[in-house]
Structure 1
Amino acid sequence: MSSGHHSVPAPVGKLLARLPAYPGSALFAVGLNLALAQHLPADTLQMLEGRVLRIQAPDAGIAFDFIWRKQKFLPVAPGGDAALTIAANLHDFYLLIQRKEDPDTLFFSRRLAMEGDTELGLLVKNTLDALDMSLFAPSQFLPGNVFGRLFPQTRSRSQAA
């Protein structure tokens, strides 16, 4: 059994790390536009305007860079500076989306990291906390239960106790 910290299996991570970053960022931006853009408050969008954000899953070897510009999320070529980087294992992002873990718990247990503009990071965190996370349920976008097959045990520590 594991200690509660799930990572993408190494062979899967190696495969994902070989994929070019930009098409992934483009798909991620499309997903954000479909699932998130219309639910964000105007003041949040104003703070995001022109700021490069990066979502990174080190265990999967992937990072998605994107920007809010001209009323939509757009992909950004990798390698530049990001105003804010949010990093966690893919499984921890999955737990966040499912509301089985909260960002503060993951942050204080060092399973979620934010680097860059702390004011922007707090705004993003508070905005996401206020949203109905079922908007991001992988089942809404992916055929079958892809995450369920990758991570068969997705119980949080509080559920396991």
Structure 2
Amino acid sequence: MSDFTIPKFRLPGFVAALGHKLPQWPHGLALVAGLNAALKMKLLPESELTALEDKLFRVQVLDTGGTAHFTYRDGLFRPVFRAEREPDLAFAANLSAYLQLLARQEDPDTLFFNRELEITGDTELGLLVKNMLDAVEWPKLPRLPLPSR
């Protein structure tokens, strides 16, 4: 039996059109909660985190219309509700690309060179973040039994 693979997909245009009109702050809160959970679980290499101090990040999910701004300060990731400057590092991709990254089905380099992931800003910071994500050892989740037919 093969593992589930996340297909490349793009949500219909009306989803992004609607998503742009909705408040964006929940996206930042959700992303920061996940990042801080990863910190608490010691999944992120602590030695690299000081380089993120006071940097502004933006993550856009193009086909949902969602945007999250956040920073890292005093040992925690924190949402930024009103970004007053350009981010130091920004990512933009469709939902499927982010899901493929999280599932380790695709790596950032492949998505970038296939023009499925846009990365803008500080190149050195981008490389640091990429290497941090590559170093994450995701906990193994137990496999759920498939229902019998």
Q: TM-score, normalised by structure 1?
A: 0.74
CA distance in 1 between partners of 2:105 and 2:114 (Å): 15
Aligned residues: 133
Q: Which has the higher helix share?
A: 1
Q: Of the candidates 65, 71, 75, which is equivalent to residue 75 of structure 2?
A: 71
Cα shift readout 1:13-49 (whole Å, capped 9, x = no counterpart): 2332222112321221112111345322233210001
Q: Matched residues, percent identical?
A: 42
- Once residues 47 and 10 of structure 1 are traced to their aligned partners in structure 2, the CA distance between those partners, rounded to angstroms, is 37
> Cα offset for 1:100?
1.2
SS at match of 1:39: coil
Aligned pairs for 1:25-64 (under 5 A) are 25-36=28-39, 38-64=42-68
Partner of 1:20: 23
Unpaired stretches in structure 2, ≥5 consecutive residues: 1-6, 142-149
Among 109, 113, 116, the alignment partner of 1:108 is: 113
Distance 1:7 1:78 in 2: 28
Does the CA-based 8 Å contact 1:103-1:125 persist in structure 2? yes
Which amino acid in structure 1 is aligned with residue 15 of structure 2?
V
RMSD over aligned Cα atoms: 2.0
Moved over 3 A (4+): none
SS of match in other structure, 2:36: helix
TM value normalised by structure 2: 0.79
1:84 to 89, 98, 123: 89
Provide the secondary structure at the position in 1 that maps to 2:54.
Answer: coil
